[in-house]
Chain A
Amino acid sequence: MLELIGLTKKFGSVTAVDNLSFTVQKGEIFGLLGENGAGKTTTLRMLATMLKPTSGTARLAGIDIVKAPEEVRGRVGILFGGESGLYDRLTVYENIQYFGELNDIPVKEIKKRIQTLSGVFGMDDFLDKRAGKLSKGMRQKASFARAIIHNPDVLLLDEPTSGLDVGAMREVQSFLRNQKDEGKTILFSSHTMSEVEKLCDRIAVIHKGTLVDMGTTDELLKKYGAHGLEDLFVRLAGDGR
């Protein structure tokens, strides 16, 4: 479903992402692990067609992100940060509707999808409230609904639980499992090792833009003789700490 082929991004003389290649299958939750500045966000931004790769490419359901970025965008849902991407002066309904319209979903279908998503996320009570007046948890739910209003095949999530409390984090995790069950491909970056361990089918550790290793958690733990994911992470991306 998602195939990265030598994906590289340079900013001047700095190589933020260096020749990244891996494949994420349909219905798989794939974790991208790395320290701050490792190149996770840049990778996700390239896949979302926000940034153009310096070399290499990626294919999303066979569509090349460099050759057909607009088509790719219609099939990707992004959530960068836990509760981001909402316009405070618009209601939750209007926020979701806006992104539906931008993704060329017919008005009638948008209405239906919002009703469905409102039920799924329990948003009926605040659907007509302005996003700026919502609590963090409500905003987070609205952000999820906004990200998947166009029923994307691939979800790109950059630290979606950052800044959220335990309850809200559990909701994110439950949301991701549901999406996986619906056959969505999920690529997500996180700093929370326990979350990665719980959710991800496979993980990739990147360090200074380069892929260090990837596999299932068990495979990697065994391979490096690490005591838990944190230990593994420090061994692979901790610069000998």
Chain B
Amino acid sequence: MNWKHIMIVFKKELKDIIRDRKTLFSSIILPIFLMPVIFLIVGGGTERMNEEMTTHITVALTADSYSLAAQNFLKKSLETQGEDITIVDPVEDPWEAINSKEAKLVVSLDGDFEEKLKASEPFTLKIYYDNSLSRSGGAVGSLKSAINKLNGEIAAQRLEAAGIDPDILTPVLVDTENISKTGDGNMLLMMILPMLIAMLVAVGGIPAATDLVAGEKERMTFEPLLTTRPSRMSILTGKYLTINLFSFASVISTLIGMLLAFFINPRSLSLGVGQIGGFNLDPGSVVLCLMVTLLLGMTFSGLQLAISTYARSFKEGQTYLSLLMFAVLIPSYATMMVMPSDIQLYMYLIPILNTISAFKLVLGGLTNYTGLILAVVTSLVYVALSLVIAASMFKNEKYLFRS
């Protein structure tokens, strides 16, 4: 290998790819603008959905069970439980009412509910809701919570009337306190960001990889290149560096896009669930995490180069490399919900999972040097393996001149 030759190839490939507007736009420029749009739309949508489920809960009685007494009972007993419930006019058809937004929920009461209430007998309050509509299905919880509070109030009144202390019903008082240092917003970011980074690092180099070997074969520039002085390893390394640079550039542009989204609306990155911030980052873990990410990119760049070398044409290269994308997507989605404290040691040993785990760990403010160092060491082995595969393909005339 000759560094002068490597740099000549690298510089040329870089120049060539920068001039490829299509690739440059879709991989580097588009994410910068697309990410804010996605996060703002999805985040804004989730926030609106949450709002719809928990605020302005309109409840209507069915016309069948309507009476002035029932209407007043609901108003008096449910609107006062602090759940933002409003009792609206009765409706004929519950489904129609919910779907036409007349009410989010519809209820019916037993016809003799007043007598039963007076006689301290239970009566039924039936809730009609449409689970296919989040504003209706999601509001049931609030109504049930208000009814529970009402049950508590009525039970307490009855016990007091009987001269019994209502506290007799609650022998155990439950008190909860969330002591997690991670806010709800950070939790969601912990699910999305590691997955996104691992996926981008692993597949970001695909456009460059497709173009640099399979594309060259198709354009018939590959054979003249192979007859120049540099060894195949020098040519391979120059192309390998370009793919690496390209995959990291696509990650950086995506992160810039995410930062833009954060600056426009800080809640957008957590999809409206909560605020992001207050991370407690351990510098050592951050460095190891970045090393694992870098090595993942290098591993996949090697694999992409090998696949592109195997392909006869640009189109064939695209087809094979898109299969690689599936190999990345499956572990990414499978571990999306895993929390930092749930990460098993074996996860640090598997490509993709190791990067996701390392990022979750760091964002969660936890430290696990054993896991991270294991991830770095195994990643080095994967890089070496992928390079050996790429080099053997690049040296093998059976693959280079497949037609």
Contacts and interface: CB of A to CB of B under 8 A. Distances in A.
Interface stretch (A97-105, A190-198, A202-210): A97-105
B315 interface: no
A49 interface: yes
A73 B234 CA distance: 14
A78 B15 contact: no
Interface residues of A, number: 32
Nearest to A50: B226
Contact of B220 (A45, A84, A98, A99): A84
Interface string A72-114: 0110101111001111111000100011011110000000000
A147 to B, nearest CB: 7
A103 B228 contact: yes
Contacts of A78: 223-224, 227
Contacts of A49: 227
A128 interface: no
Interface in B219-248: 219-221, 223-231
Contact of B223 (A50, A90, A98, A103): A50
Given A51-B401, A52-B397, A81-B220, A87 B16 contact: yes
Given A87-B221, A102-B228, A94 B15 contact: yes
A147 B231 CA distance: 18
Most buried by B among A70, A94, A98, A103: A98
Contact of A85 (B5, B220, B397): B220
A105 to B, nearest CB: 10
Chain B, interface size category, equals 20 to 34
Contact of B227 (A11, A50, A94, A130): A50
**Chain A CB within 10 Å, residue with most, of B8, B15, B221, B397:** B221
B48 to A, nearest CB: 45
A48 interface: yes
Interface string B384-403: 00000000000001101100
B12 interface: yes
Nearest to A69: B231
Nearest to A84: B220
B115 interface: no
A116 B135 CA distance: 77
Tell me the interface secondary structure of chain B in the complex. Answer: helix
A102 B8 contact: yes
Contact of A147 (B9, B221, B224, B226): B224
Contacts of A11: 398
B8 A98 contact: yes
B229 A88 contact: no
A184 interface: no
Contacts of B221: 84-87
A11 B403 CA distance: 13
A50 B224 CA distance: 9
Contacts of A101: 8
Nearest to B230: A102
B19 interface: yes
Contacts of B8: 98, 101-102
A89 B223 contact: no
B282 interface: no
B20 interface: yes
A146 interface: yes
26 contacts: A11-B398, A45-B223, A45-B401, A48-B223, A48-B226, A50-B401, A70-B229, A73-B228, A73-B229, A76-B227, A85-B220, A85-B224, A87-B16, A89-B15, A89-B19, A90-B12, A90-B15, A94-B12, A94-B15, A98-B8, A101-B8, A102-B5, A102-B9, A102-B229, A102-B230, A146-B224
Interface of B: 5, 8-9, 12, 15-16, 19-20, 219-221, 223-231, 397-398, 400-401
Interface of A: 11, 45, 48-52, 70, 73-74, 76, 78-81, 84-90, 94, 98-99, 101-104, 130, 146-147
